A and B are shown apart, each in its own frame.
Chain A
Amino acid sequence: MRDGSYKTIIRDGLWDNNVILGQMLALCPLMAVTGTATNGLGMGLASTSVLVVSGMAVSLIRKAVPQEVRIPAFVLIIAAIVTLLDLAMNAWLHELHKVLGLFIPLIVTNCAILGRAEAFASRNRVGDAMLDGLMMGLGFTIALMVLGAVREIIGSGTLFSGASLLLGEPFLFLETTVIPDYRGFLLFILPPGGFIAMAFVLAAKRIIDKRLAGDADADVLPGRIQPVDEGA
């Protein structure tokens, strides 16, 4: 049984059914780590690797696990993978690990990962499941990075600060100061700013979707808010 073609899987993961912007899952790590674009990128990539590996593992054992105990089995698999990732990051990306701290172990409880295991990987072939994990993860990463960038620019006037810690010295050029002599706007570093920025990013996605759908009057007008039509 297959849920559509590769193209559908890619489109779903990156845009239509984006973890953050479409499914509105994993908002807790989102608010906590997107103070800078670099942190968002790091968290996104860590979650992506977990998504790919867990997708593969869950898909491989999908016929061996009885329906009744599938959730504990999925959680165990995810927890094992996250533990590996946590130790690996602590060893090789120690600085970033210190920044992301508690949120790496908490990837276990990230609803998006269990959600994909349950909704997709446990019903599809290994290749599809891995591709879905990769695309969902990349979509998640992009959303985290965009939100992190918005909050970082408004909140502290920089972009990708600390990127060399994550990606290595060659990426020092990414670290830019967007607004020189900026005094900082603390609200956007704090969680309330995360919610406000998130609301504007969501609104932007809605407008783009409507434009794509060819609605000439694409702006969301308060007077005529249409019922949310998410499909099945």
Chain B
Amino acid sequence: MSTPPPLVGGPYLKQSPSVTAIMGLVMVALAPATLYGFYQFGWPAINLFVVTVASAWLCEAGVLKLTRQPLLPAVGDGSALLTGWLLAMTLPPWAPWWVGVMGSFFAIVLAKQVFGGLGQNLFNPAMVARVILLISFPVQMTYFVAPLPLGDLGAPGFLDGLAITFGFGVSGVDAVSSASILGHIKTELGQGVSWSTAFREAFEMRGMIFGTVPGSLGETSAPLLILGGMLLLGMRIITWHIPLAMMGTIAIMAGLFNVIDPLHYPDAWVHLLSGATVLGAFFIATDLVTSPSSPLGKIVFGVGCGALAYIIRTWGGYPEGIAFAVLIMNAATPLIDRYIKPRVYGRTTNGKPLEYGGGEK
């Protein structure tokens, strides 16, 4: 069967990058913040990262084998690696190894493969895993340590790192366990201390911006995460709608309540720079599979994420609400997509075909 060479003229469309290329770019964008997290929290963080990413990949391969699907290209496209990577970034850096393994299992098997694999999942796999872990193992998931940069005196060496992550042997390291910013503010507010007093006695703004504060593995350094986010924006992997809408909503709500009652509501900077706000806005809420497809829908989605995150942080039981907010908005995504449809090429927004040569009428 031979076909004549195609006789088509322009306009030519550039083919969008493959799944592997997108995953690779996202990983490149995540790399600076991740490396900084390694530096900050030392060998235990590196071990946890390796364990989480490796088990995510093994879970993917295991499910494919069990269901007799072809291993390629699914295990080679990096999607499982990226899920594991994102999950690891939201874990407390000194968490034991089984937290990472169970998280990967829930992310890949329950949140992704059960729904049919890449592109079929309703919820963001990494966030499903994080929420399951947080609800089930509150002790391990809220054990934050003060940063002990690699090479510092007192920072855990390689063997100490193994001891901390895998729990065998005795580590000679005394970690300074410490609350994250949001957790600390929440506790102190509960005791009637104003947030700014609580904040000042424990943290300084500079540390919060550069990430020398206790927190999850890859969430603390805002500039490096924003750098990665800018790369994704520049490469057109994501659009500006979700990050801007989400962070803008958080900033506006935080600013508003801060003006109304400065004693009880932390200002916008604290909300923007602490917790998972930046990571969530650029890397998690923008997940292509679980967010709306039209620009307006993305804005609605981002505003919803931001508002819910602020509400959960401020009035909810947990100090951090990004993961819950993203999951709730994931559930609303099909609804958003149904009511806010992008205009189909060649048709009006109502779905009617465009008039041919419509300009003459």
Contact = CB atoms under 8 A, between A and B. Distances in A.
A196 B137 contact: no
A142 B24 CA distance: 49
Contacts of B135: 186-187, 190
A185 B69 contact: no
A222 interface: yes
Contact of B116 (A184, A187, A188, A222): A222
Given A221-B68, A222-B117, A223-B67, 7 more contacts: A183-B139, A184-B136, A185-B136, A185-B137, A186-B136, A187-B132, A222-B69
Contact of A196 (B68, B110, B138, B139): B110
A230 to B, nearest CB: 22
Contact of B67 (A185, A187, A222): A222
Nearest to B113: A222
Interface residues of A, number: 13
Contacts of B66: 219
B137 A223 contact: no
22 contacts: A183-B137, A183-B139, A185-B136, A185-B137, A186-B135, A186-B136, A186-B137, A186-B138, A187-B132, A187-B135, A187-B136, A188-B136, A190-B135, A196-B110, A219-B67, A219-B68, A221-B68, A222-B67, A222-B69, A222-B117, A223-B67, A223-B69
B307 to A, nearest CB: 24
B102 to A, nearest CB: 9
Contacts of A183: 137, 139
A190 B136 CA distance: 10
A55 B135 CA distance: 43
Contact of A221 (B67, B116, B117, B137): B67
Contacts, number: 28
Contacts of A223: 67-69
Interface string A217-232: 0010111000000000
Nearest to B140: A183
Nearest to A185: B136
Contacts of B136: 184-188
Nearest to A155: B136
Contacts of B116: 222
Contacts of B137: 183, 185-186
A117 B2 CA distance: 68
A221 B116 CA distance: 11
Nearest to A188: B136
A206 to B, nearest CB: 14
Nearest to B70: A223
A155 to B, nearest CB: 9
Contacts of A185: 136-137
A195 to B, nearest CB: 11
A221 B132 CA distance: 27
Interface string B122-146: 0000000000100111110000000
Interface in B338-360: none
A183 B67 CA distance: 32
A147 B1 CA distance: 58
A42 B142 CA distance: 37
Contacts of A219: 66-68
Contacts of B132: 187
Contacts of A187: 132, 135-136
A40 to B, nearest CB: 21
A60 B35 CA distance: 76
A108 to B, nearest CB: 32
Most buried by B among A185, A190, A199: A185
Contacts of B69: 222-223
Interface string B84-125: 000000000000000000000000001000101100000000
A196 B136 CA distance: 14
Interface string A80-118: 000000000000000000000000000000000000000
